[in-house]
Amino acid sequence: TLEVVGSRPQVSILVVAGGGGGASYSGNGGGGGGAGGVAVYPNFTLAPGTYTVAVGGGGAGAASAPNPGTAGADSTFGTAPQPAYIFADGGGSGSSTPNPGANGGSGGGGTIAPQNWTAGTAQQPSQNSGNPNILNYGNDGGQGSNGPGGVGGGGGAGGAGPSGPPFPAAGRPGGAGQPLPAFNSSIGAFSPMPSDWISAVGPTGLYGGGGGAGA
């Protein structure tokens, strides 16, 4: 929980859901997991009170073929109907016969055609619709195609999972993360953020990269 007492601070709030797990498809890899949805509420005056925070974990990758991964868990800030309530949708799992890529914050990637090459669609852009001040980021997974390595990467907060010709030796990469400069790695100086977080977020503030596909 976050407790605000006395003053009414102006803050920017970032909420990131857990990413979806990748799939396993015998002989041809599996679709990549979609990134967890990313939501930002910039420059909000936070009223005194108690705000519950839930941090969603990432979904597990498939342990055996042919199975999809597990969806990522949702993340939230506040409790509806608080004005500061923010919802981030967990990422969709990757595709494996007979399951298409799952919908989620960002969608899971598809596997080879014709076995459920369909990728998952992004649901985060339609979240928090009751508050136009909240910015939402999520994209579709990459479609699968025929041939070795023709499996799609998971969608990212900053871009869709790539589709197109199959790669003979490797599956497609995941979609890009969304740059959020206001939340770049320099904020780690104000709290004990781990070094791997600082490295991953970097100076441009990247969040919500999609998972790469197997091949």
**Does pLDDT of 21 surpass 80?**
yes
Rounded-to-integer distance, Cα 83 and Cα 45, Å: 10
Q: Do residues 15 and 75 make contact, with C-beta atoms less than 8 angstroms apart?
A: yes
Cβ count near 188 (within 10 Å):
15
Tens-place pLDDT, residues 33-42:
999 999 999 9
192 Cβ contact list (under 8 Å, min separation 6) = none
CA angle 21, 73, 65 (to 5 degrees): 25
Cα 193-195-196 angle, rounded to 5 deg: 105
Q: For residue 108, give both structure tokens.
A: 């899971």
Residue 166: what pLDDT? Answer: 62
pLDDT tens digits, one per residue of 203-214: 999 999 999 988
